[in-house]
Structure 1
Amino acid sequence: MKPDYKLVAKAKYIHATADLASELWHEVYKRYYPAKQLDTLVEELQSADAIEADIDNDVNYFLVVLGGKTIGYFAWKMENTALHLMHLYLKPEYRGKALGRDIVLSCERLARGEGKGRVWCTVHAKALPVQQFFKALRYRNLKPAEQENGTVPRDEVVFEHTLG
């Protein structure tokens, strides 16, 4: 069964995405950040207000729905020469089932169709399984990510795939 991708635009979907983001970020990042820092990160980057601000800045959020159940979300933004895959999170029981790969490949097709030459993302420097996931898709680790604004320092690396 293939998932559906539901564009997040209406307030109820923005709030649903923020709730899901909080759940998934707390599960994924609890090993990397103390609880208070993690709460701050979620509030700064994935609260309903933050997601709405992203959408206002041309970020496209999608809920991933499979069999009527919301199982994750992803977000991307078109830039000058690239598609920036900003978020890709799936509930634990849906990881390792090629769903994330299909989302990344869909983003690559979209980028090609828009005339972009690459897709890039950032990954936590200690999230080795996620890094392996991107390496298996022919992404290469370029460099440490520049620190974005925010109160919590984030240890991330940039992964990029040049589209052929």
Structure 2
Amino acid sequence: MKPTYKQVTKTRYIEQISQLAEEIFVQHYTKLTPKVARALAEKYQSDILTDDEIHSGTVNYFMIYLGSDPVGYFALDLTPTGAMCLSRLFLLEKARGQGIGRSIVAYAQKLAEGDGRSRLYLRVWAKDLKAEGFCKKCRFRKSETVPMEVLPGVTLEITTWEKLWR
């Protein structure tokens, strides 16, 4: 089944993203405790933060559906000059491995190119080997890895992957 995307603007979808984030972060960040994964979801994907990002006009969020089932979300940060950041890309475990992520990267690249941008990038946890494999499959190249304090007392190495086309 081919995924569909719906841009998020309404409160009920913003709340749905926050709920999905908690479930996905616990599934995804298995090297962290569920408590820390939930805290990350609350800090970085709360409905208040998501609503603020959407209404700032600089970040567009999209729900990802398989049929009528929401299976994840992604966000495109439009603030970098000459670039677009795929700032969020999260899928439920059951939706992974079906080419959805690659289709989102292609979609984001097409939007970036159409907007005159020459670079698409994303940041992932350096210890996430699945995310690293995904970036390589999508022809991103590793740019840099830096430590980032994501919660008080919790520092993760974050790798930036980029794709250039001009």
> If the length of structure 2 is used for normalisation, what is the TM-score?
0.91
CA contact (8 A) 1:140 1:159 kept: yes
C-alpha separation in 2, matches of 1:96 and 1:35: 23
Q: How does 1:113-152 map to 2 (within 5 A)?
A: 113-145=114-146, 147=148, 150-151=151-152, 152=154
For these two proteins, the number of residue pairs brought into alignment is: 163
1:87: which partner in 2? 88
Matched residue type, 2:156: R
Q: Percent identity at matched positions?
A: 34
Matched residue type, 1:162: L
Matched residue type, 1:64: I
C-alpha separation in 1, matches of 2:147 and 2:110: 27
C-alpha separation in 2, matches of 1:4 and 1:83: 21
Matched residue type, 2:44: L
Report whether the alignment pairs 1:2 with 2:2: yes
C-alpha separation in 2, matches of 1:85 and 1:146: 19
Q: CA deviation at 1:147?
A: 2.8
Alignment root-mean-square deviation, CA: 1.6
Q: CA deviation at 1:154?
A: 2.6
Report whether the alignment pairs 1:51 with 2:53: no
2:23: which partner in 1? 23
Unaligned runs of 5+ residues in structure 1 are: none
Higher mean alpha-carbon deviation, 35-44 vs 47-56, is at 35-44
1:102: which partner in 2? 103
Unaligned runs of 5+ residues in structure 2 are: none
Matched residue type, 2:76: W
Runs of 4+ in 1 over 6 A off after TM superposition: none
Matched residue type, 2:69: K
C-alpha separation in 2, matches of 1:104 and 1:149: 25
C-alpha separation in 1, matches of 2:102 and 2:161: 15
Q: CA deviation at 1:150?
A: 5.0
Report whether the alignment pairs 1:157 with 2:156: no
> If the length of structure 1 is used for normalisation, what is the TM-score?
0.92
3-state secondary structure, aligned to 2:40: helix
Matched residue type, 1:61: Y
C-alpha separation in 1, matches of 2:147 and 2:84: 17
